[in-house]
Amino acid sequence: MAIWESIRTLIKGRDIGNIKSINDSLIASLAATTDKTAELASLSPINESIPTASLVIEHIVPKGKGLEFRWWHSKLTRAASRHQGYLRTDLCAPIKGSQLKWYSILHFDSPENLNRWLKSQERDKLIESGRKIFKTYQFKSFSTGLEGWFSHQTGSEQFGLGPPAWKQNLAVILALYPVVMLQGLLFSELGIMQDWHPASSMLVNNLITSSILTWIVMPFVTRLMNFWLQPAHQPMPTKTNLLGTAIIAGSLGVALVLFNVM
């Protein structure tokens, strides 16, 4: 305040002789302010490397229930905010149509805290109460494209974010190898598609193989190896990891020996 009073006096009285002293005082005041700001900034550093985990959830809401869905979603968000590691939730408005797709993006500070919220009883109760508002919902946090074979179905929910990519790859090879070999041997023995053009026979073979994998073999493999095909963010004992890997390798080895003698 004293500095500004001196400036006003200077302007009114045109006291040229005081210019230097006022200028020196102003510079000293600004320097002190700058030092204080720097000191406060050093006490509250910004952490730019905070790990986060996000999940995109798609809800299909019938026309006329948008307001009711917003009210229900706000309850869900308030409940999530009371859980450890919660950061924020972004709700994206739908594009108009016969069925409106709402997307919410849930942010936690770690995959572990996110997973704890997803498995909480409080969330389960809220999801059940919301089923009369929305038709279906599903998670959208997939990365390899194979998770559809590894996601546990709970009602309309795809629960779990998928096992590690290398486990998915081994499980698919375990299912695919015997199917392709048996299919080839059977078709050869019965003379099926033997005189077809390779492009045509390959297409039909792929259609048959993928159908067998999707509806018969992969569900069996995922149930059998469920103890090993856990979401990537869940910690797993080394012994369990080694056991699952050994089962896959051993099964492929046995299949190889059997097909070699056929």
pLDDT of residue 164: 83
3-state secondary structure labels for all residues of 111-141: HHHHHHHHCCHHHHHHHHHHCCCCCEEEECC
DSSP string, 36-93: HHHHHHHHS---TT---EEEEEEEEEETT-HHHHHHHHHHHHHHHHTSTTEEEEEEEP
Give pLDDT, residue 101.
83
The reported pTM is 0.51
Cα distance between residue 146 and residue 218, in whole Å: 11
| DSSP SS3 for 108 | strand
Q: What is the pLDDT of residue 172?
A: 94
Q: Tell me, what's the pLDDT at 9?
A: 54
What does the longest C-alpha to C-alpha distance in the chain come to? 113
Q: Tokens at residue 113, please?
A: 């805290």
| Digitized pLDDT (tens) for each residue of the chain, 262 residues in all | 554 455 455 445 444 455 455 455 544 554 444 444 444 344 444 344 455 788 888 888 888 888 999 999 999 999 999 999 999 999 987 876 556 788 899 999 988 899 899 989 999 999 999 888 887 776 655 445 555 566 554 444 544 456 888 998 999 999 999 999 999 999 999 999 999 999 999 999 999 999 999 899 999 999 999 999 887 656 789 999 999 999 999 999 999 999 999 8
Residue type, 75: K
